[in-house]
Chains A and B, each alone.
Chain A
Amino acid sequence: MSTETFLPDAGQDALPTTLFRFATAGSVDDGKSTLVGRLLHDSKAILADQLDAVARTSADRGFGGDGATDPSGKQRIDLALLTDGLRAEREQGITIDVAYRYFATGRRSFILADCPGHVQYTKNTVTGASTADAVVVLIDARKGVLEQTRRHLSVLQLLRVAHVIVAVNKIDLVDFSEDVFRAIEADVQQVGRELGLGRNELNTGGLADLFVIPVSALDGDNVVDRSDRTPWYDGPALLEVLETLPAADELESHLESFRFPVQLVVRPQGALAPDAVAAGLDAAAYRDYRAYAGQITEGSVKVGDTVSVLTPGQDPRTTTVAGIDFAGHSLQEATAPQSVAIRLSDEIDVARGDTIAAAGTIREASADLYAALCWLSPKPLREGAKVLVKHGTRTVRAMVRNVTGKLDLASFQLEPTSTLELNDIGHAQLRLAASLPLENYLHHRRTGAFLVIDPLDGNTLAAGLVKDHPGDHEDERYSI
Chain B
Amino acid sequence: MSTFLTEEPTQVTDAPVSTRLSSLDTLESEAIHIIREVVAEFERPALLFSGGKDSVVMLHLATKAFWPGKVPFPVLHVDTGHNFPEVIDFRDRTVERLGLKLVVGSVQEFIDSGELAERADGTRNPLQTVPLLDAIQRNKFDAVFGGGRRDEDKARAKERILSLRDEFGQWDPRNQRPELWNLYNGRHTVGQHVRAFPISNWTELDVWRYIERENIELPGLYYAHEREVFARDGMWRAVGEVSQPRDNEAVTTKTVRYRTVGDMSCTGAVESAAATVRDVVIEVAASTITERGATRADDRISEAAMEDRKKDGYF
Chain A interfacial positions (CB closer than 8 Å to B): 5-8, 10, 15-19, 47-50, 53, 83-88, 90, 96-102, 104, 108-109, 111, 123-124, 126-127, 130-131, 185, 189, 192-193, 197-200, 209-213, 234-236, 240-241, 244-247, 249-250, 253, 263-264, 266-268, 271-276, 278, 281, 286, 289, 293-295, 297, 325-328, 335, 337-339, 341, 352, 376, 388, 390-391, 393, 445-446, 449-451, 453, 457-460, 463
Which of these, A197, A325, A457, contacts B189 with CB under 8 Å?
A457
**Pairwise interchain contact A7-B286, C-beta atoms closer than 8 A:** yes
Chain B interfacial positions (CB closer than 8 Å to A): 1-7, 10, 12-14, 16-30, 32-33, 36-37, 39-40, 63-71, 97-99, 150-151, 154-155, 157-158, 173-174, 176-183, 185, 187-189, 200-201, 203, 205-206, 209, 278, 281-282, 285-290, 293-294, 303-304, 307
**Pairwise interchain contact A268-B158, C-beta atoms closer than 8 A:** no
**Pairwise interchain contact A337-B26, C-beta atoms closer than 8 A:** yes
**Pairwise interchain contact A100-B150, C-beta atoms closer than 8 A:** yes
Q: Known contacts A8-B281, A449-B181, A458-B189: does B4 contact A211 (CB below 8 Å)?
A: yes
**Pairwise interchain contact B180-A102, C-beta atoms closer than 8 A:** no
**Pairwise interchain contact B180-A211, C-beta atoms closer than 8 A:** no
Within the complex, the shortest CB–CB distance from B70 to chain A, in Å, comes to 5
Q: How far is the CA of A276 from the CA of B19 in the complex (A)?
A: 30
Within the complex, the shortest CB–CB distance from B313 to chain A, in Å, comes to 17
Q: Known contacts A50-B290, A200-B6: does B185 contact A453 (CB below 8 Å)?
A: yes
Shortest Cβ-Cβ A-B pairs, 4 listed = A458-B187, A16-B22, A268-B69, A198-B5
Residues of chain B with a CB closer than 8 A to A388's CB: 187
Within the complex, the shortest CB–CB distance from B226 to chain A, in Å, comes to 23
**Pairwise interchain contact B290-A286, C-beta atoms closer than 8 A:** no
**Pairwise interchain contact A235-B2, C-beta atoms closer than 8 A:** yes
Which of these, A102, A235, A295, contacts B151 with CB under 8 Å?
A102
Q: Known contacts A5-B285, A131-B182: does B70 contact A97 (CB below 8 Å)?
A: no
**Pairwise interchain contact A295-B33, C-beta atoms closer than 8 A:** yes
**Pairwise interchain contact B67-A100, C-beta atoms closer than 8 A:** no
Q: Known contacts A86-B173, A266-B69: does B97 contact A327 (CB below 8 Å)?
A: no
**Pairwise interchain contact A463-B178, C-beta atoms closer than 8 A:** yes
Which of these, A15, A123, A390, A446, contacts B16 with CB under 8 Å?
A15
Residues of chain B with a CB closer than 8 A to A212's CB: 3
Residues of chain B with a CB closer than 8 A to A48's CB: 288-289
Add 13 more A-B contacts to A100-B200, A264-B39 (CB < 8 A): A5-B286, A7-B285, A17-B22, A50-B290, A101-B151, A127-B180, A200-B7, A268-B70, A293-B66, A338-B29, A339-B33, A458-B185, A460-B178
Q: Known contacts A48-B288, A393-B40: does B70 contact A273 (CB below 8 Å)?
A: yes
Which of these, A104, A240, A263, contacts B12 with CB under 8 Å?
A240
Which of these, B5, B37, B158, contacts A192 with CB under 8 Å?
B5
**Pairwise interchain contact B201-A100, C-beta atoms closer than 8 A:** yes
Residues of chain B with a CB closer than 8 A to A100's CB: 150, 157-158, 200-201
Within the complex, the shortest CB–CB distance from A138 to chain B, in Å, comes to 15
Which of these, B158, B187, B304, contacts A97 with CB under 8 Å?
B158
Q: How far is the CA of A253 from the CA of B176 in the complex (A)?
A: 32
Within the complex, the shortest CB–CB distance from A87 to chain B, in Å, comes to 4
Residues of chain B with a CB closer than 8 A to A102's CB: 150-151, 201, 203
Q: How far is the CA of A198 from the CA of B98 in the complex (A)?
A: 52
| Contacts A/B (CB < 8 Å), 9 sampled | A48-B288, A96-B173, A130-B181, A210-B3, A275-B97, A293-B36, A327-B64, A341-B67, A449-B180
Q: How far is the CA of A15 from the CA of B17 in the complex (A)?
A: 10
Q: How far is the CA of A42 from the CA of B63 in the complex (A)?
A: 39
Q: Known contacts A5-B286, A97-B174, A100-B201: does B20 contact A18 (CB below 8 Å)?
A: yes
Within the complex, the shortest CB–CB distance from B38 to chain A, in Å, comes to 10
Q: Known contacts A131-B181, A390-B183: does B3 contact A96 (CB below 8 Å)?
A: no
Q: Known contacts A15-B16, A47-B288, A211-B3: does B97 contact A293 (CB below 8 Å)?
A: no
Residues of chain A with a CB closer than 8 A to B282's CB: 7-8, 10
In chain B, what residue has the closest Cβ to A124?
Answer: B178
Q: Known contacts A101-B157, A212-B3: does B293 contact A49 (CB below 8 Å)?
A: yes
Within the complex, the shortest CB–CB distance from A41 to chain B, in Å, comes to 13
Which of these, B37, B68, B178, contacts A286 with CB under 8 Å?
B68
Q: How far is the CA of A140 from the CA of B71 in the complex (A)?
A: 52
Q: How far is the CA of A469 from the CA of B287 in the complex (A)?
A: 55
Q: Known contacts A17-B22, A97-B174: does B40 contact A86 (CB below 8 Å)?
A: no
Q: How far is the CA of A295 from the CA of B39 in the complex (A)?
A: 14
Which of these, B67, B97, B179, B189, contacts A328 with CB under 8 Å?
B67
**Pairwise interchain contact B285-A273, C-beta atoms closer than 8 A:** no
**Pairwise interchain contact B181-A271, C-beta atoms closer than 8 A:** no
Q: Known contacts A250-B18, A273-B63: does B189 contact A130 (CB below 8 Å)?
A: no
In chain A, what residue has the closest Cβ to B176?
Answer: A97
Q: How far is the CA of A338 from the CA of B22 in the complex (A)?
A: 11
Within the complex, the shortest CB–CB distance from A356 to chain B, in Å, comes to 15
Which of these, A19, A88, A245, A327, contacts B27 with CB under 8 Å?
A19
In chain B, what residue has the closest Cβ to A203?
Answer: B6
**Pairwise interchain contact B200-A244, C-beta atoms closer than 8 A:** no
Residues of chain B with a CB closer than 8 A to A294's CB: 33, 36
**Pairwise interchain contact B29-A250, C-beta atoms closer than 8 A:** no
**Pairwise interchain contact B181-A446, C-beta atoms closer than 8 A:** yes
**Pairwise interchain contact A209-B173, C-beta atoms closer than 8 A:** no
Residues of chain A with a CB closer than 8 A to B6's CB: 198-200, 209
Residues of chain B with a CB closer than 8 A to A289's CB: 68
Within the complex, the shortest CB–CB distance from A330 to chain B, in Å, comes to 12
**Pairwise interchain contact B293-A50, C-beta atoms closer than 8 A:** yes
Within the complex, the shortest CB–CB distance from B98 to chain A, in Å, comes to 6
In chain B, what residue has the closest Cβ to A103?
Answer: B203
Q: Among B40, B174, B178, B282, find the residue whose CB has the most chain A CB atoms closer than 10 A.
A: B178
In chain A, what residue has the closest Cβ to B285?
Answer: A7
In chain A, what residue has the closest Cβ to B100?
Answer: A274
**Pairwise interchain contact A273-B37, C-beta atoms closer than 8 A:** no
Within the complex, the shortest CB–CB distance from B284 to chain A, in Å, comes to 10
Which of these, A6, A185, A458, A459, contacts B3 with CB under 8 Å?
A185
In chain A, what residue has the closest Cβ to B164?
Answer: A458
Q: Known contacts A85-B155, A235-B2: does B285 contact A49 (CB below 8 Å)?
A: no
**Pairwise interchain contact B158-A264, C-beta atoms closer than 8 A:** no
Within the complex, the shortest CB–CB distance from B278 to chain A, in Å, comes to 7
Q: Known contacts A18-B22, A85-B157: does B303 contact A6 (CB below 8 Å)?
A: no
Within the complex, the shortest CB–CB distance from B212 to chain A, in Å, comes to 9
Residues of chain B with a CB closer than 8 A to A244's CB: 12-14
Q: Known contacts A327-B63, A327-B67: does B285 contact A99 (CB below 8 Å)?
A: no
Q: How far is the CA of A100 from the CA of B193 in the complex (A)?
A: 23
